[in-house]
Amino acid sequence: MTNISDFMDSPYRFLQARLDELKTAKNLRTLSHADAEGRYIIKQGRRMLNLSSNDYLGLAVDMNLRADFLRQISVKDFVPSASSSRLLTGNHPIFDELETELAKLYNAESALLFNSGYDANSGILPAIANNDDTLILADKLVHASLIDGIRLSHAKCIRFRHNDLNHLERLISKNASCYRHIILVTESIFSMNGDEAPLREMVDLKRRYPNIMLYVDEAHAFGLRGSQGLGCCEEAGILPDIDLLVGTLGKAAASAGAFVICAQTIRDYLINHVRPFIFTTALPPFTVAWSLYIVHNLPQMSARRERLSCITKRVHQALATEQVKDISQSHIIPLLIGSSADAMLQADAMQRHGFYLLPVRPPTVPEGTARLRLSLRADLTDEETERLIEEATATPQLHSYETASTRTNNS
């Protein structure tokens, strides 16, 4: 008698086979242990400057900020858990205070808080693009959270070539009369390349077509760009033209959560339709209080933003050689290596020289574009910046940025 199990593969064996494939390709991810000590990472006896975090302004390690915040907090204010979603009993007053402060800063009608940028991006798009009358036009390199939100929506999606305005305009011209709404989706600063979207030109396109909504993810620009640190849209003077502006609080703002700036009508709609908002226990009110403290102080942190800008310019200038064509326009600078194996070797070399950099490998980036991702920070000293430049420019495996960028855009 034949046993049905003879025709079935063990799910564990299947999963292990997939893990073995990742290991062979040098793309297996594991959780490593490292101790944080301010700006430094202590790992395997090495003390390394942390250039792999998103603490761009150095706020997460600023003890003076923590002390000042804690002086303002009473035992009553320390609420470690919301204990339910905001639609039940979790809507503590501090949530409204933060949303009011954000709306005021952006001179907008409203803001809505989310537990993370992933929750915001994966939840908002399915909520507002829930029928066949909507078309999503998304940049080829938008973040995975946006891609997942698009996949969960009922809308058709076309990915336009990265930052290619001609391609985008052709798609809009061809489809504008065929759909009730078109949602144009982009990041302001792209997380893996560090380049910027042509936001002003996108707004010009939007103004020509009344059925376009513009969705901009400012995850890596909030806190850093613009006179008040509100992001690239503030810097470009186009805030009133953005229908949905998403910012994260877990990067430069050194906290947790995310928010969307939008019209009151959109906010009311999202509260009723965004599943990650409806069915999630809200953020701890204590965390939101810290976010409010940081957001309230962001406009006064221009010195930190200027310091980061100066460091960024210095590193860009040093890397803009004939060997290395710099595609980044921001504090995020990819050192493109090519293969995953070479990227791992180069990351280890940088760590041996005191810089904690990690390899970014497929599927996070396309095949053949594995890289080290420099996340510059405002609390770098001049000496540290020069040492970093010396090590980065000595990287023998670097491909031309221009060549690797072309592969990324066309993949």
Catalytic residues: 54, 143, 187, 191, 217, 220, 251
Q: Which two tokens stand for residue 410?
A: 């066309």
3-state helix, strand, coil in the chain (%, to 5): 45, 15, 40
Nearest to 214 by CA among 179, 186, 178: 186
For 155, half-sphere exposure in the C-beta direction (CA atoms, 13 angstrom radius) is 29
- How far CA 259 is from CA of 32, 98, 262, in Å, comes to 30, 10, 10
Q: First vs last Cα of the chain: how many Å apart?
A: 51
Q: For 196-350, where are the E strands, in sequence order?
A: 212-217, 244-248, 258-262, 332-338
DSSP 73-137: --TTT------S-TTTT---HHHHHHHHHHHHHHT-SEEEEES-HHHHHHHHHHHH--STTEEEE
Contact 93, 289 (CB under 8 A): no
Write the Ramachandran bin of 46: left for phi over 0, alpha for psi from -120 to 50, otherwise beta. beta
Rounded Cα distance, 229 and 237, in Å: 13
Nearest to 274 by CA among 378, 66, 118: 118
Residues 6 or more apart from 282 whose CB is under 8 A from it?
82, 84, 85, 86, 90, 91, 92, 95, 115
Would you tell me how many other CB atoms lie within 10 Å of the CB of residue 32? 8
Q: Which two tokens stand for residue 35?
A: 């101790």
Rounded Cα distance, 177 and 400, in Å: 42
Q: Which two tokens stand for residue 114?
A: 């989310």
Contact 247, 259 (CB under 8 A): yes
In the sheet where 212-217 sits, what is the strand order?
A: 110-114, 258-262, 244-248, 212-217, 181-187, 134-139, 156-160
Strand pairing partners for 333? 374
